[in-house]
A and B are shown apart, each in its own frame.
Chain A
Amino acid sequence: MRIEQVDANRWRIPREGGMRVDGMVYASEAMMVDLRRDPALQQVANVAHLPGILGHSMAMPDIHWGYGFPIGGVAGTDADEGVISPGGVGYDINCGVRLLRTSLRREDLDAPALKAVVQEMYRSIPTGAGEGRKDLRVAGKELDAVLRHGAAWAVDRGMGWKRDLAVLEEGGALEQADPAQVSPRARERGGPQLGTLGSGNHFAEIQRVAEIHDAAAAGAFGLHPGQITVMIHSGSRGLGHQVCSDHLKGMVVAAERHRIVLPDRQLACAPLSSPEGKRYLGAMAAAANFAFANRQVMTHFVRASFERALGMTAEQLGIEVVYDVCHNIAKMETFEVEGRRRRVCVHRKGATRAYPPGHPQVPHAYREVGQPVLIPGDMGRYSYVLAGTQRAYEETFGSSCHGAGRRMSRGEAKRQARGRQLVHELAAKGIVVMAAGLATVAEEMPEAYKDVADVVDVVDRAGIARKVARLEPLGVIKG
């Protein structure tokens, strides 16, 4: 497989064999040294085989190996002629990030106060595998409402403020949701898990704004230095995982019928116009809405945690939503392709929408500066807020990176972590960690990930997102 350098941040994989388009990888020269030998690049080339793919098969600088699509993969397919591929979304449908701001500053939260908030959060938001809430279990018609209305369902039930919905990607619900396509099995798995964090690299984190890179954009987003923020990184739990498995299986079996020949079974797909394609799109959107609702419910419990710990109301504390983004999703969006306006199914698997200034879908308050792009870092290191750009809109179907890619397997991380008291190391840095499983803490150690600062630098230099602010963790709850 040939790789040609386009510029300091772009690398082309020229079409060959069954590839319908070129691949385009966003990475620095230093990253490419390791990447050249990485099977993830082959995956970028594989994705280029998808029928109806437009532009390039792309990968963001947090690229790493995934199922079918690499993580960090972006691919747009034509709405009429193209396919939809569950592997281009991922098992954790609408895994995403929400950022809350507060009117608190770092100095307002002394060590006991910080600990108290973290403890309240840990008590009120279940973490860990299979964990469900006892105070909130949805099923039947109520679950249908969650699947149809997403975050709005939670707000209607008193878990949030109406104004929260204005600052969520898609307003916190995808229209194409079709609850009937979500199997009884997915409902059984996911119903009890609404309002829970999950495990692995999911977290809820209290942060401070450590550095502002773009004062105008930060101001528009309501962020200023030293401010206390809260970031929630979570997805659609067992419901989304099951939806993906259910529909992927159908497509693997049907692949022969549609005579779609692909280099990797996990790229199994169906034409967007086919019954299987429509069913998956409807199910995926429903699962995405479950995740939007999930992050909304957790927002409610974060607010409640601050209230109980600090003895002030969430309104007094100014706990407002900054934004909420998906980073595992497929959406029908409109772009100009080869001079024509077309409806494109944009697959973002470990990639985030990054719409430009002026776009009507960017909330009014942010429209002059562009859509907030929330990039969770890894545990104990920083996270970033970026803004979308016109260049992304023109080049990457309005997409940017999503976080730090893993660079170490879980086994390797555990071996390297042996003997290290990670929770104590973080505590020594002043970071309070409460985790359901210490094994996860080892696997999620910062060294297991690429440095998110490097990833963000590449997208910034490539012009597909602009650095706005850097956030540093103060307290974390994890599964």
Chain B
Amino acid sequence: MSFSVLEHTADLGIEVAAPTLGELFVEAARGLTDAITDLARVEPRARRELDLAEPQLDLLLVSFLEELLFRFDAGGEIASGGTAAVEEHGGGWRLRATLDVDRFDPARHPLKVQVKAITYHGLEVARGGEGAVVSWRARVLFDV
């Protein structure tokens, strides 16, 4: 499981890889956190449940990260990790997640960038892997 940072002149993106879709989404959440502050300093102090659905898988990733961004901007909450299940559901896709979150504290969490939005540009959620080995990867860009 990993995420890495993409370089773009005006903005910031992440590429994420994981063995399952659920883990992919959680890694993306960690990538967003690490864009905003230092992930290593974010502690699992509380738990949050999320239940979201969208007609398409990549739209679901954007909605999920938008939800996290909203919770940060409006409520000062930031995710350190967690577990998620992402499944096809009623013709679309559904995410159910339990996230570990921390309260953003400027004394503990140095601010890196202000992420304004999760964009659709270059957005990708794709299945990879060879033979019996399944993996998932995603790419998403943030407007900062």
B111 touching A245, Cβ below 8 Å: no
- Residue interface mask B104-140, A partner, CB < 8 A = 1: 1010001111101111110100000000000000000
- Is there an interface contact between B117 and A241, defined as CB atoms closer than 8 Å? yes
The size class of the interface chain B forms with chain A is: 20 to 34
Q: Which of B56-84 touch A at CB < 8 Å?
A: 59, 62-63, 66, 70, 72-74, 76
Interface residues of A in 393-411 (CB under 8 A from B): 406-411
Most chain B beta-carbon contacts within 10 A, residue among A67, A253, A411: A67
Q: Which of A285-324 contact B (CB under 8 A)?
A: none
Asked whether B113 lies within 8 Å of A245 as measured between CB atoms, the reply is no
B114 touches A479 (CB 8 A): yes
Contact call B74/A189, Cβ cutoff below 8 A: yes
> How near does chain A come to B34, taking the closest CB pair, in angstroms?
13
The interface stretch among A276-284, A416-424, A437-445 is A437-445
Is B123 touching A199 in the complex (CB atoms < 8 A)? no
- Contact assessment for B119 and A253 in the assembled complex, using a CB-CB cutoff below 8 Å: no
User: Measured between C-beta atoms, what is the minimum distance from A200 to chain B in Å?
Assistant: 6
A412 to B123, CA, bound (A): 23
Residues of chain A with a CB closer than 8 A to B5's CB: 411
Closest chain A residue to B70 by CB distance? Answer: A185
A198 pairs with B114, CB closer than 8 A: yes
Q: Determine if A129 and B117 form an interchain contact, defined as CB atoms under 8 angstroms apart.
A: no
How many angstroms from the CA of A266 to the CA of B55 in the assembled complex? 18
Residues of chain B within 8 A (CB-CB) of A71 are 10
Residues of B within 8 A of A67 (CB): 119-121, 141, 143
Instruction: Judge whether B10 and A189 touch: CB under 8 Å.
Output: no
Task: Name which of A244, A410, A437 has the most chain B CB atoms within 10 A of its CB.
Answer: A410
In the bound complex, do residue A189 and residue B113 qualify as a contact, i.e. CB atoms below 8 Å apart? no
Q: For the complex, what is the distance from the CA of A440 to the CA of B37, rounded to whole Å?
A: 12
Question: Are B66 and A129 in touch, CB under 8 angstroms?
Answer: no
How many residues of A are counted as interface, with CB atoms below 8 angstroms from the partner's CB atoms?
43
Instruction: Assess the B110–A437 pair: CB atoms within 8 A.
Output: yes
Beta-carbon contact of B113 and A200 below 8 Å? yes
Query: A199: which of B59, B76, B113 is its contact (CB, 8 Å)?
Result: B113
Q: Are B70 and A406 in contact (CB under 8 A)?
A: no
**Are A189 and B121 in contact, CB atoms less than 8 angstroms apart?**
no
In the complex, the answer to whether B113 meets A407 with C-beta atoms within 8 Å is no
Residue A265, interface by CB 8 Å: yes
- The answer to whether A366 has its CB under 8 Å from any CB of chain B is no
Most chain A Cβ neighbours within 10 Å, of B62, B73, B76, B118: B73
Chain B residue contacts of A382, Cβ below 8 A: none
| Cα distance, A455 to B15, chains bound together (Å) | 33
CA distance A242 to B114 in the complex (A): 14
Contact with B along A54-92 (1 / 0, CB 8 A): 000000000011111001000000000000000000011
How many Å lie between the Cα of A130 and that of B62 in the bound state?
Answer: 20
Residue in A65, A189, A244, A479 whose CB lies within 8 Å of B9: A65
B95 within 8 A of A: no
Please give me the 7 A-B residue pairs with the lowest Cβ-Cβ distance, nearest first.
Answer: A129-B114, A409-B7, A241-B116, A199-B114, A91-B117, A265-B120, A188-B74
Given contacts A241-B117, A408-B9, 8 further A-B contacts (CB under 8 A): A189-B74, A238-B74, A245-B118, A252-B120, A410-B113, A437-B111, A439-B113, A440-B113
